[in-house]
């Protein structure tokens, strides 16, 4: 197992892609590692390449420094690679390093991020100009596990040539409108099967808008379903207490022999990771943390919420949702609470992955809608994937770069 993770074997497809990259026309195009002085040119490339790129130059610099420069898992590894023609940067592929648990082994994952190739490079080097960057990425991350987490179809096809496979269910995400009517639907669906049955028919379609109007008129909200003996707290990342211990406890319980939901791949959300990912995040003021604690004050579930107000719709993303095994009641509590917070803050939608395929039925119960992405969110090197990986990959929005 360890040997397979440390030495990525070259498949026939990988060998073919290396050959294709080596034979590219345009000999003046050179790939090298990213340097600190490249940040302005990378910003110009990304802002010209992506219509949805909304960062100012200063915001991008701060984000780049956090995501790449201050990443505690990078060590002396490259922060990424650029494709150059003389002094001009015509392509970029960054590497974001994160801790991963593959079955019971700790490894470092390398996420290919901010992948862009200028039209000028394609005109100069042919349609496969960007393959040089991918070749440098896969050769340069060493013993890390290569992956992509926000890939489009083109990136997915390129990464597949180097031995990566998509996790099919991550093509799907879940969305709920941040309205009082939806909150009534979700809170009711979390409490009983009979209510869920009643709400799925015509009665529910008529009753919820009327009830929602009544609640809004009275300026009140339905109660969040909280398990008996537990309490729900809302805080900011800087004040969230010992959540790394919760993740370690959950991982240990799921790795026990006979566990009903074995996990073969997940982010190792240690306290170090959570501190970097959320406390040090440049937009940490947009992050809130939900924690469900038992009668002894021990965390039995938590979720990080990120409010994205940079797009046409204000969206609250549910990230890093984790509970003790088989505590679907706590999953429902966290999702209902996320929906209430989104309502209170005037958001349009709550959006999340299902985390893993085996819990997707909870979203149906709560009235979330299934939506399709243009490509699977998770594309992971085969050396890190369990054999039945559809139900053994734990993946949330928090790892999407």
For 290, phi and psi rounded to 5 degrees?
-105, 135
CA atoms 332, 333, 339, 340: torsion sign: positive
- 3-state SS, residue 84: strand
Equal fold, 2-166 vs 172-374 = yes
CATH H-level superfamily of 2-166: Gcn5-related N-acetyltransferase (GNAT) (3.40.630.30)
pLDDT attached to residue 206: 57
Q: Give the separation between CA 171 and CA 167, rounded to whole angstroms.
A: 8
Tell me which residue of 335, 292, 297, 298 sits closest to 317, measured CA to CA: 335
| Structural domain 172-374, CATH architecture | 3-Layer(aba) Sandwich (3.40)
Pairing, β 88-102 against β 80-85: antiparallel
pLDDT attached to residue 166: 93
pLDDT attached to residue 13: 44
pLDDT attached to residue 197: 58
Domain locations in the chain as residue ranges: 2-166, 172-374
Mean pLDDT by groups of 10 residues along the chain of 401 residues: 42 39 55 93 93 88 95 96 91 96 91 92 69 93 94 88 93 92 78 59 58 57 88 94 88 70 85 95 96 95 92 89 91 95 93 89 90 92 84 90 93
CA 63 to chain centre: 17
pTM for the model stands at 0.86
pLDDT attached to residue 135: 93
pLDDT attached to residue 3: 43
Going by the DSSP 8-state scheme, the letter that residue 236 receives in this structure is -
CA atoms 55, 60, 66, 67: torsion sign: positive
Beta strands in 24-119 (DSSP E): 29-33, 80-85, 88-102, 105-117
Q: Give the separation between CA 294 and CA 301, rounded to whole angstroms.
A: 9
Burial class (CB in 10 A: 0-12, 13-18, 19+), 64: buried
User: Contact 80/91 with Cβ under 8 angstroms?
Assistant: no
φ/ψ bin of 77: left (φ > 0), alpha (ψ from -120 to 50), beta (otherwise): beta
Going by the DSSP 8-state scheme, the letter that residue 109 receives in this structure is E
């Amino acid at each position: 197992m360890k040997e397979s993770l440390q030495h990525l074997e070259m498949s026939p497809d990988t060998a073919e892609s290396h050959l294709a990259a080596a034979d590219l026309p345009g000999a003046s195009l050179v790939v090298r590692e990213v340097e600190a002085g490249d940040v302005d040119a990378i910003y110009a490339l990304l802002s010209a390449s992506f219509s949805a790129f909304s960062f100012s130059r200063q915001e991008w610099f701060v984000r780049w420094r956090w995501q790449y420069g201050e990443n505690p898992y990078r060590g002396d590894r490259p922060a990424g690679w650029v494709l150059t023609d003389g002094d001009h940067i015509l392509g970029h592929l960054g590497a974001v390093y994160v801790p991963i648990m593959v079955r019971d082994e700790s490894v470092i994952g390398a996420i290919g991020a901010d992948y862009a190739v200028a039209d000028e490079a394609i005109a100069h080097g042919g349609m496969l100009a960007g393959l040089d960057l991918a070749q440098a990425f896969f050769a340069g991350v060493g013993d890390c596990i290569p992956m992509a987490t926000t890939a489009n179809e083109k990136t997915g096809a390129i990464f597949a040539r180097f031995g990566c496979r998509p996790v099919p269910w991550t093509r799907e995400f879940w969305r709920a409108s941040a309205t009082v009517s939806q909150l009534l639907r979700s809170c009711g669906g979390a409490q009983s099967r009979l209510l869920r049955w009643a709400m799925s028919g015509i009665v529910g379609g008529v009753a919820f808008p009327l009830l929602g109007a009544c609640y809004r008129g009275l300026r009140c909200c339905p109660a969040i379903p909280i398990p008996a003996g537990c309490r729900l707290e809302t805080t900011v990342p800087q004040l969230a207490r010992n959540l790394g211990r919760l993740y370690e406890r959950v991982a240990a319980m799921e790795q026990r022999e006979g566990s009903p939901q074995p996990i073969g791949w997940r982010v190792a959300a240690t306290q170090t990771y959570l501190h970097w990912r959320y406390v040090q995040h440049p937009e940490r003021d947009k992050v809130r943390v939900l924690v469900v604690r038992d009668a002894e004050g021990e965390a039995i579930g938590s979720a990080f919420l990120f409010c994205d107000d940079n797009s046409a719709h204000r969206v609250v993303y549910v990230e890093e949702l984790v509970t003790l095994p088989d505590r679907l009641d706590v999953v429902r509590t966290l999702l209902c609470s996320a929906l209430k917070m989104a309502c209170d803050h005037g958001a349009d939608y709550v959006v999340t992955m299902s985390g893993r395929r085996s819990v997707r039925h909870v979203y149906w119960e709560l009235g979330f809608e299934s939506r399709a992405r243009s490509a699977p969110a998770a594309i992971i090197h085969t050396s890190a994937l369990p054999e039945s990986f559809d139900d053994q990959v734990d993946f949330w929005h928090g790892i999407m770069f």
